Amino acid sequence: MHKPAQVIEIFLQPGEVYFGERDTRIRTLLGSCVAVTVWHPGLLVGGMCHYMLPGYPAGKCGAPDARYADHALDLMVREIRRTGTSPHNYHVKLFGGGHMFSGHQAVSADHVGAKNVEVARVLMKQHGFLTCAEHLGGVGHRNIFFEIWNGHVWVRHQPPVSSKNDAASNNKNGMLCTQ
């Protein structure tokens, strides 16, 4: 589908979930957080969640909190069910989980970004989602742009900058993450 004449622009903050229709573009900025995009190619609906931490603290009670992976995905599945569809009907893409402090510590498998990636993969299987694309891990932050009218997700990955020369050379790396 072509870009709609009137586009609704949504900027998703950490700990938010948004589900919308074909006239929507959702964007967010990720570091160690993970974003999950879901898109239904027949209905042209979809959404994104942006979570910060792998799991809700054990023993803590309260309303669903999308800062945590498990709650964010539960909220996303709730929106999917409202459309009368199931998770397996969606194209799912995963982004983020970067290591943000590589200059201060060695990259290891136990930083929060790596834990967020690990739990994303577990939750995808648990909820019946099939992941068709991902851009995960590494060092640095990502800008994510999700166009619900066509399912395209644009990613701009920006590694940390150590000098002005690095800033100029690293400023040209956008890519389309398709199926």
Q: What is the CATH number of the domain that holds 18?
A: 3.30.1330.200
Residue 2 falls inside a structural domain:
no
Closest CA to 33 of 113, 105, 102: 113
- State the pLDDT at residue 104: 53
Residue 3 falls inside a structural domain:
no
Helices (H), 38-89: 69-82
Structural domain containing residue 147: 8-177
- State the pLDDT at residue 176: 66
Write out the chain's pLDDT in tens, 179 residues.
789 999 999 999 999 999 999 999 999 999 999 999 999 999 999 999 999 999 888 777 778 899 999 999 999 999 999 999 999 999 999 999 998 765 555 556 678 999 999 999 999 999 999 999 999 999 889 999 999 999 999 999 988 766 455 444 444 556 666 65
- State the pLDDT at residue 157: 93
Residue 1 falls inside a structural domain:
no
- State the pLDDT at residue 103: 57
- State the pLDDT at residue 12: 98
Angle between helices 112-127 and 69-82 (to 10 degrees): 30
Measured distance between the N- and C-terminal CA atoms of the chain, rounded to whole angstroms: 16
How far apart CA 124 and CA 142 sit, in angstroms, is 21
Q: How many domains does the chain have?
A: 1
Residue at token pair 């957080």: 33
Residue 136, strand partner residues: 96
Q: How many Cβ atoms sit within 10 Å of the Cβ of residue 42?
A: 7
Residue 153 falls inside a structural domain:
yes
- State the pLDDT at residue 39: 98
Residue 58 falls inside a structural domain:
yes
How far apart CA 65 and CA 115 sit, in angstroms, is 18
Question: Can you tell me whether residue 94 is helix, strand or coil?
Answer: strand
Residue 51 falls inside a structural domain:
yes
- State the pLDDT at residue 100: 78
Residue 54 falls inside a structural domain:
yes
Residue 139 CA, distance from chain mean position: 16
Which 8-state DSSP code applies to residue 65?
A: -
Residue 114 falls inside a structural domain:
yes
What's the full length of the chain, in residues?
179
